[in-house]
Structure 1
Amino acid sequence: MADLNAERDVNPSSQPAEKTHADFDPPKKPKRNKFALACAALASMTSILLGYDIGVMSGAAIYIKDDLKISDTQVEILVGTLNIYSLVGSAAAGRTSDWIGRRYTIVVAGGIFFVGALLMGFATNYAFLMVGRFIAGIGVGYAVVIAPVYTAEVSPASSRGFLTSFPEVFINSGILIGYVSNFAFSKLPTHLGWRFMLGIGAIPSVVLAVIVLVMPESPRWLVLQGRLGDAKRVLDRTSDSKEEAQARLADIKAAAGIPQDCNDDVVQVEKKSHGEGVWRELFLHPTPSVRHILACVIGMHFFHQASGIDAVVLYSPRIFEKAGITSDNDKLLATVAVGFVKTVFILVATFLLDRIGRRPLLLSSVGGMIFSLATLGFALTIIDHSHEKLTWAIALCIAMVLANVAFFSIGLGPIAWVYTTEIIPLRLRAQGASMGAAVNRVTSGVISTTFISLYKGITIGGAFFLFAAIAAVAWSFFFTCLPETQGRTLEDMEVLFGHFIKWRSALKKHEEGNKDGESNGEIQL
């Protein structure tokens, strides 16, 4: 110790510099990357297609039933089967995006929806209308898969939750536009009004397909194609710093099995993947971590729809009618309020995802949904058994519908897409995301095509009690099996998974191991 002190006296330069006030300041949070934000926004605008169809069909179905003289069963099929048809697009989107790239897959989605919207707008009978629904559904299936995949892959870790929630923001924006379209065109003659409502959706699909062409390709897809130089240039523009860009590129190369000593400027290397072998790794020979991730993806997308959100949004005019609102004009105005609340609260969620984390927001959201669904079921049951108009019960129904969409939009709505996209490993991401979207669309299709029959069978109050019970099961699943992913890189996710309900203890051991390693490194130095 004396020798060390003497050396310090002799060599003042070896003494540590005095710490300034700035050394104790917390690190400044990087500013949001404007280029990454623009890319995420442009890609996510594709989700307007799904939102618009959901919103516009809720009102158009009223006039289609009157004009084409169809039954309630045919209305159920018309409204809900687009989600079933979207399975075709969802199943194809993963392989298509691995083959032609994320960007051109977005163009494909817009083009297909354009054709479907035109066919629906010019439909002369029910069969013609269903053909248009089928084609539009394929386009929607492509859109719901590719938008969150692309945004997750261009987003820096510091704002990934904010940017990856954009698809849900635009779905809600599309729903609101659809509701407003219903109200605007409801003044036209019945045989024209619903055709304008549906056909007008062709316009944004063309605009979106053209705008997307100015976006860069996903850096992860570029690496998988061996285009390292192109990937590096995109990462330099979409990262918060040059150091982060280099770290992201190294992580992607490692995940893709490309040697780190490959020159970043070399664009001609062996192409690593067009998606071959992914299904085998997902289902036949999954690792424990992939098995856990798969369970989380399927579970979250199932509960995302099984808790009844599409029943509330698609059939809100019928819910308001059951609550005692009889005027078509008043019902459509109430649905506009639903769309407005959904849009406002999804915007709030985008700013909270990277601040308070996924788990707290998700669990709070689902807890609120349980309360609002159960209360809505109670109010509708009271109205159903009353022989007089109960103003307080009608007000409670409206309030609980608005509360339900608000709670959904502030948590479960965006997090289902953010979380499931970011936890899937790079090599499995496109096709794993398409599988999650397929589960989402199937569940949505089942709910939306059976809701009228369900409430006729168990009463409308009973239907919402059932949705509340499903939401309670969802809360238990999320609390038990889903670890927090906030702030972790996409390539670091597999550390969190593989232990199902024991993920907390496994994560604690991993962190303790890292601390021990750092301590040993300091001692050796």
Structure 2
Amino acid sequence: MTVGNIYFIAAIAVLGGGLFGFDISSMSAIIATQEYLCYFNQGGLNEQGTCVGPRSDVQGGITASMPGGSFVGALVSGFLSDIFGRKKAIMIGAVIWCIGCVIVSASQNIGMLVVGRFINGVCVGICSAQVPVYISELAPPSKRGRLVGAQQWAITWGIMIMFYISYGCSKIKNTSAFRIPWAVQAVPAIMLFVGMLFLPESPRWLARKNRWDDCERVLILVHGHGDPHSPFVAKELAEIKETCEFERHNADVTYWELLKPRMINRTHIGVFTQIWSQLTGMNVMMYYITYVFAMAGLTGDTLLVSSSIQYVINVLMTIPALLYVDRWGRRPTLLVGAALMATWLFTNAGVLAARGRPAPPGGVGGVKEASWEVSGPPSKAVIACSYLFVASFATTWGPVSWIYPPELYPLRVRGKAVALSTSANWIMNFALGYFVPPAFVNIQWRTYLIFGVFCVSMFIHVFFLFPETAGKTLEEVEGMFLDPDGIKNIGTPAWKTRVTTKQVSQLERGNVDAEKGAVVHRDDTNNSPERMDSAAEKEYRP
């Protein structure tokens, strides 16, 4: 049995994003526990008689091994997706994740832990690159932003759920404190694999493989809701055939094509969307929030519970973006997010610089990365700004960084283009995962200044070079980057682009009966459904 409900399809597919969330908090909740620090101890005991744990650079390497694997997985995913299909590529990722979980949970030393996390990362790279492509090629245009953005929501749920699992297991006074959470990570991957068995393949991938009967069946199931005579399906199938005919007269897509004059501007925007999403400093909050709150004087259960509040905020504040991002637009959302995050980062840097002081040798509470401390009302300000930072990211850059790149590219290059932009996300994630622990030790509160400057830089970059894509057709997006002959990268200045909402709102008021997949023309002067369908679906092709 194959399920055609687009919300169910998205709910299963975005479990791939949830795997990344599980990995983030399985590390952040564990790295400050004595069980973890003693088992992977490299520095003996500190003055308080507790284990020091891995060296700062080694801990950075342990954390960074997962995004390192994700970088490789994201690049490989373009080839896997083109050869085996979007659906099977995601299923391959789920199998790889389970293998990584076995190795991680059975780790006997740091080397084994790094290898297991790298393998987990390969899965995350595959799924994070291809889940947005899979959903965008199945979703109707009016719901595409919401459904693709659900990947970020799944990430936030994975972070929160896994943190509380890890927190509960931290009460166990042996190595099960970290082995159980790392083993439990396999559960959502098993759910993803089994769930994908009941989902359809991307109709566009099927068409590229000349499996036209299968392609039509998927369109009838998902967009025609079982009606083989749906005008919507007929028109969509005709346009897919036209696209495939064009591709047959062109060379196969390679990564090199994304660097050619026709695509280089869009490639740079998609890549930097993912780079900037990492340079916001969100990794500081996700991976190493326990270090930040230790600097603010929190210890023990209070430290872990206070850290977990940010994960709840992350889940809740992603909801407004999913509901309204198609109205707000991508561009204003990114600009507002960059400005707000810069504000909170600079505020934290100022409070720590003015009111803080160097921590005792060995760090606050024996956590050497907490090399700076602040107390009293200033510590509450640091905690509050940290929460506000997470809320700002969750409503803006979090979901939009996944929604925006697939909208920049035509169908022919979308798989590899999104894989390339996602790989940029993971290579920056790798660099930051390695950089932050030594940064807290060596430059202390100045770490916040670095990320604050990044947020100002991304605001300027987005303002001048990131155009608005919300509500626009493929032809309109092409026109923003190329001249009418498709030769020069002249395009429309980014700051002059706006959200296109008029036609979308008309569709949703009743011109298109989305539930039946058929288009209903309501103009008494011309009551031809086929005519309306032709115009509407040409206008709103994903």
TM-score range, shorter chain: 0.7 to 0.9
Q: Distance in 2 between matches of 1:370 and 1:45?
A: 31
Aligned match of 1:304 in 254, 268, 277? 277
Which residue in 1 is equivalent to 2:533? none
Q: Distance in 1 between matches of 2:165 and 2:441?
A: 29
Q: Distance in 2 between matches of 1:384 and 1:34?
A: 56
Contact kept, 8 Å, 1:278 with 1:427, in 2: the verdict is: no
1:355: Cα distance to partner? 2.1
TM-score under structure 1 length normalisation: 0.82
The structure-2 alpha-carbon separation of the partners of 1:248 and 1:415, relative to structure 1 and needing over 3 Å to count, comes to farther
Pairing 1:254–2:239 present: no
Secondary structure at 1:188 match in 2: coil
Which residue in 2 is equivalent to 1:376? 348
Give 1:305-324 correspondences, 5 Å limit.
Answer: 305-324=278-297
1:302: Cα distance to partner? 0.9
Which residue in 1 is equivalent to 2:478? 494
Q: Distance in 2 between matches of 1:134 and 1:307?
A: 24
The structure-2 alpha-carbon separation of the partners of 1:34 and 1:324, relative to structure 1 and needing over 3 Å to count, comes to farther
Which residue in 1 is equivalent to 2:380? 395
Aligned match of 2:22 in 52, 55, 70? 52
Pairing 1:194–2:164 present: no
Q: Distance in 1 between matches of 2:374 and 2:190?
A: 47
Q: Distance in 1 between matches of 2:481 and 2:246?
A: 24
Aligned match of 1:137 in 121, 124, 131? 121
Q: Identity of counterpart residues, as a percentage?
A: 25
The structure-2 alpha-carbon separation of the partners of 1:340 and 1:39, relative to structure 1 and needing over 3 Å to count, comes to same
Which residue in 1 is equivalent to 2:403? 418
Contact kept, 8 Å, 1:495 with 1:507, in 2: the verdict is: no
Q: Distance in 2 between matches of 1:386 and 1:507?
A: 48
Q: Distance in 1 between matches of 2:182 and 2:377?
A: 35
Aligned match of 2:493 in 500, 503, 523? 503
Pairing 1:457–2:442 present: yes
1:237-278 deviation digits (Å, cap 9, x = unpaired)? 43489444444434433333359xxxxxxxxxx8x99x9342
Contact kept, 8 Å, 2:107 with 2:113, in 1: the verdict is: yes
Q: Distance in 2 between matches of 1:86 and 1:200?
A: 20
Contact kept, 8 Å, 2:67 with 2:118, in 1: the verdict is: no
Runs of 4+ in 1 over 6 A off after TM superposition: 505-508
Aligned match of 1:223 in 196, 202, 207? 207
Contact kept, 8 Å, 2:293 with 2:383, in 1: the verdict is: yes
1:481: Cα distance to partner? 1.1
Which stretch shifts more, 462-471 or 373-382?
Answer: 373-382
The structure-2 alpha-carbon separation of the partners of 1:243 and 1:183, relative to structure 1 and needing over 3 Å to count, comes to same
Q: Distance in 1 between matches of 2:264 and 2:37?
A: 45
1:369: Cα distance to partner? 0.9
Q: Distance in 1 between matches of 2:265 and 2:387?
A: 34
Give 1:90-489 correspondences, 5 Å limit.
Answer: 90-239=74-223, 242-257=230-245, 276-283=252-259, 286-288=260-262, 290-325=263-298, 327-385=299-357, 390-459=375-444, 461-489=445-473
One-letter amino acid of the structure 2 residue matched with residue 321 of structure 1: A
Q: Distance in 1 between matches of 2:209 and 2:288?
A: 45
The structure-2 alpha-carbon separation of the partners of 1:488 and 1:248, relative to structure 1 and needing over 3 Å to count, comes to farther
One-letter amino acid of the structure 2 residue matched with residue 397 of structure 1: V
Secondary structure at 1:324 match in 2: coil
1:370-424 deviation digits (Å, cap 9, x = unpaired)? 1111112222223423899632211111111111111111111111110101212
TM-score under structure 2 length normalisation: 0.80
The structure-2 alpha-carbon separation of the partners of 1:507 and 1:232, relative to structure 1 and needing over 3 Å to count, comes to farther
Q: Which has the larger radius of gyration?
A: 1
Structure 1 unaligned runs (5+)? Answer: 1-32, 260-269, 509-525
Q: Distance in 2 between matches of 1:82 and 1:307?
A: 19
1:315: Cα distance to partner? 0.2
Q: Distance in 2 between matches of 1:210 and 1:87?
A: 25
1:188: Cα distance to partner? 0.5
Secondary structure at 1:48 match in 2: helix
The structure-2 alpha-carbon separation of the partners of 1:302 and 1:420, relative to structure 1 and needing over 3 Å to count, comes to same
Pairing 1:37–2:25 present: no
Which residue in 2 is equivalent to 1:523? none
Which stretch shifts more, 485-494 or 124-133?
Answer: 485-494
Task: Indicate the structure with greater helix content.
Answer: 1
Which residue in 1 is equivalent to 2:510? none
Structure 2 unaligned runs (5+)? Answer: 42-53, 360-372, 483-488, 499-542
Contact kept, 8 Å, 2:467 with 2:497, in 1: the verdict is: no
Contact kept, 8 Å, 1:80 with 1:444, in 2: the verdict is: yes
One-letter amino acid of the structure 2 residue matched with residue 197 of structure 1: P
Q: Distance in 2 between matches of 1:504 and 1:74?
A: 42
Contact kept, 8 Å, 2:16 with 2:131, in 1: the verdict is: yes
